[in-house]
Chain A
Amino acid sequence: DQQVKQNSPSLSVQEGRISILNCDYTNSMFDYFLWYKKYPAEGPTFLISISSIKDKNEDGRFTVFLNKSAKHLSLHIVPSQPGDSAVYFCAASVRSNYKLTFGKGTLLTVNP
């Protein structure tokens, strides 16, 4: 049972445009959500997070939106840069559960 789903295995955008990565979840107990970026053969790097009490969080070029009623979150990258090309993982957690549940990732390619 996959509780966190990233339905797009890949996404390709032009440099300077917006990248939108999507994530859906099924467990209504999740109360904290994160996005990670990962290059091959390296560990994931934290990008941005959002608590379930918020619906938006921004950090520079990265914005995460949370729609609790739809059990959906998205990551917006504006403007996209070639260095953003990587696999992006959505993750979720439940307080005091001490683990992250990850989606299977979306490969983002930003073309110059």
Chain B
Amino acid sequence: KAGVTQTPRYLIKTRGQQVTLSCSPISGHRSVSWYQQTPGQGLQFLFEYFSETQRNKGNFPGRFSGRQFSNSRSEMNVSTLELGDSALYLCASSLGGTGNEKLFFGSGTQLSVL
């Protein structure tokens, strides 16, 4: 069974630009979550989607948004990029029933903002 796939693997953008990251969950998984990893803050929760509905959102500015499609694939968008947005963005999927489940992570998208 294929794992969680994230594209692209690496991105370089400049301040003020916007970026869209893509995530394909494990087949049969209906929940997709996004996390940001930075050296200083560790892994921080961005948002979670299940059946195209956002069920929870982390403490990030409105420049960070996401969506989920009917095939459970998900995208996240960051607008008006800032230097501090440089991070590894991780997508995770799970079956999505109770919320108390192990998450399966992709390899991430490394975003560098110059």
Contacts and interface: CB of A to CB of B under 8 A. Distances in A.
Majority SS at the chain A contact face: loop
B26 interface: no
A98 B50 contact: yes
Interface residues of B, number: 28
Given A102-B42, A103-B42, A97 B99 contact: yes
Majority SS at the chain B contact face: strand
Contacts of A95: 98-100
Nearest to B41: A104
Contacts of B48: 98-99
A32 B90 contact: no
Size class of the contact patch on chain A: 20 to 34
Contacts of A34: 102
Report which residue of A36, A43, A45, A94 has the largest number of chain B beta carbons within 10 angstroms of its beta carbon: A43
Nearest to B110: A41
Interface of B: 4, 31, 33, 35, 41-45, 48, 50, 55-56, 58, 88, 90, 92, 98-100, 102-108, 110
Interface of A: 31-32, 34, 36, 41-46, 49, 51, 89, 91, 93-105
